[in-house]
Amino acid sequence: MAPGHGVHRKHVFVSHREYRLADGATACSGHLEALHGDTWGSVCEIELRAANVLCKELQCGEAVPSLMTYTRRPGPIWTEQIYCDGNESRLYDCIRYGIEGNCTKQSAAYIQCKGLFNSYRLVNGSDRCSGRVEVLYERQWMVLCSSHWSLQEANVLCRQIKCGVAGSVPGGGHFGKYYVTTTYRFHCSGTEYHLGDCNITALGNSECPSWDTAGVICTGKEETVRLMGGEDHCAGRLEILPNNTWNRAVGDQWCINETQVVCRELRCGHAVGQFTIIPPTTVSGHVYLSGNCQGNETQLADCSVTGSSDTNTWTGQEKEIEIICSESNQLRLVDGPGRCAGRVEIYHDGRWGTICDDSWNKADADVVCKQLGCGYGVKATTGGYHGRGTGEIWLDNVECGGNETHIQDCPANQYGKHDCGHKEDAGVICSDWESCGNISHLSQRALPPGY
């Protein structure tokens, strides 16, 4: 598959039988299906070496062993079993047994490949944790455009190469020019562990000046704290890394000083919210934290923070710790055709809520789209166009100028003060709404029917 031409489902033709990965989150993942006659069916079992052969044949790198699973599937599930040595270039070269009949256990193989890009590196930096971003595609190193690279993607790459978090994303050829650029764009939330876990979009033959290469300067130190389960890496439940194993943090005396330090350590600005949420359903995988920070420390390790997994010392009042930092989007689009269109929902006081459409206009939509990395606003929708939300209505009478960085920076009523119902929920359609699914070609189609 050449750069600039993407598909939602990849196919491989092997002799008279066709194989494909179906219903996956990306073009490099899915349930393995085989075509027998005119009928598609799932393949009952596949070993890791055979999965690696298929991933390489699809130009998707290698299979990820920990993500190979077996799940129930509708339709026929063939008993076909495939055995490979691992050095074959296609499934046709592997041995296949039992290609007739059905699988009695009614489960099917799900394969996750590492992705279109087999490797990543930083070049021309002062150390291994800084430099121009390059990706390996079909045995050729290519660079990304600065305009297609943001802090969210940079954070994922820094985590992936064990360099902490992104301190900055200098563009404009800061780390030198390069003349072979890829037309792909990564769409990450910032919480993924690998760039291959992010959605990828093919942008066609978009021009990218040789001087406008993407770069990143990582903090260089592998992270020992992280926020998970939020909309990005700057919001979510607190997890720490004692003894090389991530554990959720619980506490009953966690204060704003500790939260400020965590936000600073993650390069996420300052603390804007902290909560102790539901008690852990199990004690395994949790560590109790008792903090003693002044609030001006660089990292949590500089504080007199004690951690214990000994439940005999717990008071019974412990709850998981959730943090929101100022650099978090705290924003999402719901019930639209993709990540970049839908009802606007904002996170406040530990709960998701909506925005009333009073005074809602194009300038407001521009700020929302820019904040989410979705381009600019094409339309500001009103009247619950994307469906009615539930719960709180957090903002009303939002009046952005259009140049704000976050919707939270715009003038509006005090949180929770409104005279609206959910039939007035506001939404947006952003310019990048087409390109935010799996790998897809960005064309100049019209908006979806009704938009």
What is the predicted pLDDT for the residue at 27?
65
What is the predicted pLDDT for the residue at 151?
81
**Hunting for tokens 């390109």 — which residue is that?**
435
CB 149 within 8 A of CB 171: yes
Longest dimension (CA), the chain: 70
- Segment 119-139 shows an average pLDDT of 86
Give the rounded distance of the alpha carbon of 125 from its chain centre. 26
Query: pLDDT band at 393, cuts 50/70/90?
Result: very high
What is the predicted pLDDT for the residue at 444?
26
Nearest CA to 217 out of 174, 176, 265 is that of: 174
What is the predicted pLDDT for the residue at 428?
95
- Domain boundary assignment for the chain: 11-112, 119-218, 225-325, 331-434
Q: Which two tokens stand for residue 246?
A: 């991530």
Mean model confidence pLDDT for the chain: 77
pLDDT at 17 over 60: no
Region of residue 391 (left: phi > 0; alpha: psi -120 to 50; beta: else): left
Give the rounded distance of the alpha carbon of 436 from its chain centre. 11
DSSP reduced 3-state for 207 = coil
71-124 pLDDT, tens per residue? Answer: 777 777 777 778 888 888 887 788 877 655 556 556 677 887 876 676 788 999
pLDDT at 32 over 80: yes
- Segment 403-416 shows an average pLDDT of 88
Higher pLDDT, residue 242 or 306: 242
Query: pLDDT band at 47, cuts 50/70/90?
Result: confident
- Segment 46-53 shows an average pLDDT of 87
**Same CATH fold assignment for domains 11-112 and 331-434:** yes
Alpha-helical (H) ranges within 171-298 are 256-265
pLDDT at 435 over 70: no
Query: pLDDT band at 290, cuts 50/70/90?
Result: confident
What architecture does CATH give domain 119-218?
Answer: Roll (3.10)
DSSP calls for 295-319: S--SSGGGS--EEE--GGG--S--E
Report CA dihedral (60, 62, 66, 72) to the nearest 10 degrees. Answer: 50
Q: Alpha carbon of 138 to those of 6, 57, 115: distances in Å?
A: 15, 11, 12
Cα distance between residue 367 and residue 362, in whole Å: 9
What is the predicted pLDDT for the residue at 368?
92
CB 60 within 8 A of CB 23: no
What is the predicted pLDDT for the residue at 442?
24
Give the rounded distance of the alpha carbon of 403 from its chain centre. 26
- Antiparallel, parallel or unpaired: β 286-290 and 247-251: parallel
What is the predicted pLDDT for the residue at 100?
53
- Segment 269-291 shows an average pLDDT of 72
Mention every residue, 6+ apart, whose C-beta is less than 8 A from residue 211. Answer: 172, 173, 177
Mention every residue, 6+ apart, whose C-beta is less than 8 A from residue 249. Answer: 237, 238, 239, 240, 286, 287, 288, 289, 307, 320, 321
pLDDT at 394 over 90: yes
CATH number of the structural domain 11-112: 3.10.250.10
DSSP calls for 133-193: EEEEETTEEEE-BGGG--HHHHHHHHHHTT--SEEE---TTTT---S-B--EEEE--S--S
Cα distance between residue 249 and residue 287, in whole Å: 5
Which of the four CATH numbers 1.20.1280.260, 2.40.10.10, 3.10.250.10, 3.40.50.720 does domain 225-325 have? 3.10.250.10
What is the predicted pLDDT for the residue at 367?
92
Cα distance between residue 69 and residue 73, in whole Å: 12
Mention every residue, 6+ apart, whose C-beta is less than 8 A from residue 82. Answer: 43, 46, 47, 50, 91, 94, 95, 96
What is the predicted pLDDT for the residue at 193?
75
In this structure, whether the domain defined by 331-434 belongs to CATH 3.10.250.10 is answered with yes
- Segment 212-231 shows an average pLDDT of 84
Query: pLDDT band at 337, cuts 50/70/90?
Result: confident
pLDDT at 203 over 90: no
Task: Name residue 16's amino acid.
Answer: H
Cα distance between residue 334 and residue 352, in whole Å: 11
What is the helix (H) or strand (E) element at residue 72, kind and residue range?
A: strand 69-72
- Segment 281-305 shows an average pLDDT of 77
Query: pLDDT band at 138, cuts 50/70/90?
Result: low
Q: String of b and e for 122-146 (b: at least 16 CB within 10 Å)?
A: bbbbeeebbbbbbbebeeeebbbbb
Give the CB-side neighbour count of residue 175, counting CA atoms within 13 A: 27
- Segment 46-68 shows an average pLDDT of 80
Query: pLDDT band at 308, cuts 50/70/90?
Result: low
